[in-house]
């Protein structure tokens, strides 16, 4: 998939809405590694959607409902008449503010060159523990993930677990026989120092899941 195909398909929006089929998902995620514009769009749009959800949920929760009625669960609750007018008005304000001020600033900030801490982690037959990653609190870092190629796999699924053993995030990585290393930007978050584990599974064309391996690294926080 090239950039024109991604724009025509509206791949960024469908990617965030989980509306891409497995083939399109694999192609678009492979395209993200090479297309900075699409990568910036995905990150900035994800930030915008998350902020909009938080604002709407806070506002709709503050609007009184005079007559108890049966309310659909989830996001459809704010479509009731008691919610709809203030919620839609607020949404227009949020969208306008984001488009005119916040969204351009986000894109500008994301487009600025940044020097992030980085380290190479080896999985499977490459595995080796004892790696230390040092970063500032609230900042991200880059992992160059080395995965031994499996010719039967069409993609890999990487899961990062925090020191408490809870899943922090998952990432789909396209599988290619000519490549065994991928740069993965770990997004900024308020993380705790400790041992993090990266587990990788391979997925075949028939949907079979294989355990490729896992590795761990020690995350240290700079003052």
Domain ranges in the chain are 3-111, 118-222
Residue 119 three-state SS: strand
Least confident span in 80-89, 186-195, 202-211: 80-89
Q: Please give the mean pLDDT across all residues of the chain.
A: 75
Dihedral through CA 142, CA 148, CA 151, CA 154, nearest 10?
Answer: -30
Q: How far apart are CA 100 and CA 104, in angstroms?
A: 7
Here the tokens at position 63 are: 């609007």
Query: What is d(CA 168, CA 86) in angstroms, rounded to the nearest whole number?
Result: 35
Decide if pLDDT at 204 tops 90: yes
How far is residue 30 from each of residues 24, 140, 159, 200, 216, measured CA to CA in Å?
A: 10, 21, 18, 17, 25
Domain 118-222 carries which CATH code?
Answer: 2.60.40.10
Say if residues 215 and 127 touch (Cβ distance below 8 Å): yes
Mean pLDDT of the region 33-51:
72
Angle in degrees, CA 180, 186, 191, rounded to 5: 140
pLDDT-derived band at 74 (thresholds 50, 70, 90) equals: very low
C-beta of residue 154 within 8 angstroms of C-beta of residue 26? yes
Among 1-15, 38-52, 106-120, the range of highest mean pLDDT: 1-15
To which residue do tokens 């919610």 refer?
83
Best-predicted range by mean pLDDT (25-39, 65-79, 113-127, 195-209):
195-209
Determine which helix (DSSP H) or strand (DSSP E) holds 210, and give its type and residue range: strand 209-222
pLDDT the model gives residue 24: 87
């Amino acid at each position: 998939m090239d950039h024109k195909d991604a724009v025509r398909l509206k791949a960024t929006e469908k990617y965030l809405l989980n509306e891409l089929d497995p083939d399109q998902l694999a192609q678009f995620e492979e395209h993200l590694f090479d297309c900075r514009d699409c990568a910036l769009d995905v990150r900035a749009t994800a930030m915008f959607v998350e902020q909009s959800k938080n604002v709407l949920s806070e506002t709709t929760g503050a609007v009184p409902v005079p007559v108890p009625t049966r309310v659909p669960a989830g996001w459809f609750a704010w479509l009731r008449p008691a919610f709809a007018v203030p919620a839609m008005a607020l949404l227009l304000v949020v969208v306008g503010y984001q488009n005119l001020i916040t969204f351009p600033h986000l894109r500008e900030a994301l487009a600025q060159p940044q020097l992030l801490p980085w380290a190479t982690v080896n999985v499977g037959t490459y595995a080796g523990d004892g790696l230390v990653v040092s970063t500032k609190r609230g900042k991200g870092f880059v992992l160059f993930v080395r995965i031994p190629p499996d010719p039967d796999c069409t993609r890999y699924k990487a899961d990062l677990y925090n020191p408490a053993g809870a899943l922090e995030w998952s990432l789909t990585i396209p599988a290619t026989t000519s490549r065994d290393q991928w740069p993965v930007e770990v997004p900024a978050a308020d993380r705790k120092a400790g041992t993090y584990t990266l587990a990788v599974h391979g997925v075949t064309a028939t949907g079979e899941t294989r355990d490729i391996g896992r590795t761990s690294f020690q995350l240290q926080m700079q003052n």
